[in-house]
Chain A
């Protein structure tokens, strides 16, 4: 029963909440979409925190998503023992960097009065959840070795069963509680997107790579023409 709640109900609820409320917020309060950067107020700690956190977490996330989307490719990538070592060590290293980055984020907001002045309750919740999530992830990687491999037999098929709307919790039912928490934490993070500044992750401006440098908007060309 607990497994049904943790690995079926919560994931589906999280995704539904995230999608519906994100669209609702985008339609009704587009102004609220912002990175809410506080770099203007404090930038010396932030330079270490933000760069470390964002690059590390993006690479880790990419690995999680790639392995779930293309398990075959991922398995081939891990073909040799050396490659497995490299991936595992890189992953753990990135997790450490992310933890340091997140730690600095939290420390900065606790100690710098200006950064503190622009920190909301939502920010604290988000910071706590993200810190817990990367710490759990690091423990998982460190204590339960070769996650890059067993991910393919456990989490990946479970996620696939969720996507196929035929949820099967047996893949993850026997996991240690640390890893279970990490799974649930992932979906809790997704559910936080529409309620927090995490929504800025959805607005990565890739179109900047090809848009023209000059942007001119004519009001009247949209108006009725004779």
Chain B
């Protein structure tokens, strides 16, 4: 056992209203610079939709992530082996171009004020932030926002590839139109494609908290990480010639503040907590068949109350505060205890460490003799919130997103989400769950207490229940590592090493 800590996030998609506040706060703090204008370390996509960069999930085009070699089943980066990688270093054939993202622009606002008097209203033309020339705007980072059903965008979602025409028809029928939002940041993977692809070895995972960072002094702009990341969450700064990515706001975490995207989240959909995982079993978890990937990833997330796990974490230098946080982690509850939160596209085999609770979507009322009927011709109380069979989002589509095609894995989550709603309705209206409700709970594998706890943490958590991460140790801070007095007697304050003569 080799236990490490990972700061991890859960997105409760039922609560996401698609307001893009997370994206904007992130942009204002981190990517409002020349060369970084086109980067959205945090972005929110409409699903079904093509996303940003366009069709990023299509790995036949972008070659991100890992794949099993046909012969011996060994894992290899989809883009290339080691030698092939260096062979492509002069030109990366799979690199997205700026047009796959969008060309960033501003407007010629000065013209509104400085234009000479004339017969026409002055206009503010769009100006490219790359060339400085006037440009025609063709695409933006959320160009297909809310455009489900669109032939141009939603219909080209790579996740629809496996679906029949009938199923597509159902999803895009005007009266049944369905979509939800998918906020995305760097997944801070355990088996990151970007880390493996970097020829210079500039990208690394921090041992203490699992944050994946690009060392800007070591990066040489070989741009393989951009292809290696299947989520397209490493970006190339065309101005500095270096790669950049989401840093999980570590400077904020180090001062005990939540990441900007988390803090600004209007729907309060985000939960940030610590997971303890067994680093010795990573190969095991990435080597299984597609259908078993979610289960295998769950299996290496360890019980933070297990004394053996705690001992191993301590031996690795995980601070006590992190272990305590892991024991109260909301993320652990969603991911491991309740098995409600799933990783995004586990089939890329990078072990992404951000998790999503799939959305239920509101009930669809159907006009019935002048009144809006939500029960859809059913008298069963359990049917009030819909059934899997009547789910507005097809299980096959959700399985493509969150469980590498294993529909049972997604269905199990939905059974629980439905059960919690049925249970809450019963306890609100009748005071206590009736036989029907108990049946639904049992089918979902939940107890009434669990359903109540899921409801509490879903619907009315306080900030401190959603954000359970201790202030991370700063690069030069010693307080969380050792006793300040011991440190003072050995090194004096201000040094990280012992101040020994000649060393």
Contacts and interface: CB of A to CB of B under 8 A. Distances in A.
Interface string B460-485: 00000000000001010010011100
A223 B496 contact: yes
B238 A118 contact: yes
Interface in B107-163: 130-133
A214 B196 contact: yes
Nearest to B242: A34
Interface stretch (A86-94, A148-156, A203-211): A203-211
Most buried by B among A41, A46, A220: A220
B340 to A, nearest CB: 28
Given A216-B204, A217-B205, 9 more contacts: A34-B219, A35-B220, A41-B130, A46-B91, A113-B133, A213-B195, A216-B279, A219-B207, A224-B490
A118 B221 CA distance: 14
The number of chain B residues touching the other chain, given as a range, is 35 or more
B90 A217 contact: no
Contact of A220 (B82, B132, B208): B208
B386 to A, nearest CB: 43
Given A39-B223, A208-B82, A215 B217 contact: no
Interface string B190-223: 0110011011110111111000000011111111
Contact of A36 (B130, B221, B498): B221
A83 interface: no
Interface in A20-42: 30-31, 33-42
Contact of A50 (B90, B217, B319, B482): B90
Nearest to A205: B199
B97 A209 contact: no
A47 interface: yes
A224 B482 contact: yes
Given A209-B86, A218-B208, A39 B222 contact: no
A39 B96 CA distance: 9
B83 interface: yes
26 contacts: A30-B218, A38-B238, A39-B97, A40-B96, A40-B98, A40-B223, A43-B91, A43-B97, A47-B91, A47-B93, A51-B91, A116-B131, A205-B200, A205-B222, A208-B82, A208-B200, A215-B205, A216-B204, A216-B207, A219-B208, A220-B317, A220-B481, A223-B478, A224-B497, A224-B498, A226-B483
A35 B221 contact: yes
Contact of B200 (A46, A203, A221): A203
A222 interface: yes
A205 B478 CA distance: 34
Nearest to B190: A214
B164 interface: no
A64 interface: no
A46 B82 CA distance: 23
Most buried by B among A51, A53, A224: A224
A25 to B, nearest CB: 12
A117 interface: yes
Nearest to B75: A213
A145 interface: no
Nearest to B97: A43
Nearest to B200: A205
B381 interface: no
Interface in A169-224: 200, 203, 205-209, 211, 213-224
Contacts of B319: 220
A54 B131 contact: no
B256 to A, nearest CB: 17
A208 B86 contact: yes
Contact of B91 (A31, A50, A200, A218): A50
Contacts, number: 152
A107 interface: no
A219 B5 CA distance: 13
A113 B238 CA distance: 14
A216 B483 CA distance: 25
A206 B219 CA distance: 14
B86 to A, nearest CB: 6
Contacts of B200: 203, 205, 208
B295 interface: no
A117 B131 contact: yes
A146 to B, nearest CB: 31
A34 B496 contact: no
Contact of B241 (A36, A47, A114, A223): A36
Nearest to A203: B220
B92 interface: yes
A55 interface: yes
B223 A37 contact: yes
Contacts of A223: 478, 481-482, 496-497
Contacts of B240: 31, 34
A225 B205 CA distance: 22
Contacts of B90: 50-51, 53-55
B454 interface: no
A218 B4 CA distance: 11
Contacts of A113: 131, 133
Contacts of B203: 215
Contacts of B221: 34-37, 200
Given A41-B130, A50-B91, A114 B98 contact: yes
Q: Shortest 3 CB-CB distances between A and B: which pairs?
A: A218-B207, A205-B199, A34-B241
Contacts of B93: 47
Contacts of A30: 217-218
Contacts of B86: 205-206, 208-209
Interface in A44-93: 46-47, 50-51, 53-55
A168 B421 CA distance: 91
B241 A37 contact: yes
Contacts of A213: 191, 195-196
Nearest to A44: B97
Nearest to A36: B241
A226 B95 CA distance: 47
Contacts of B481: 220, 223-224
A172 to B, nearest CB: 33
B236 A37 contact: yes
Interface in B269-309: 279, 282
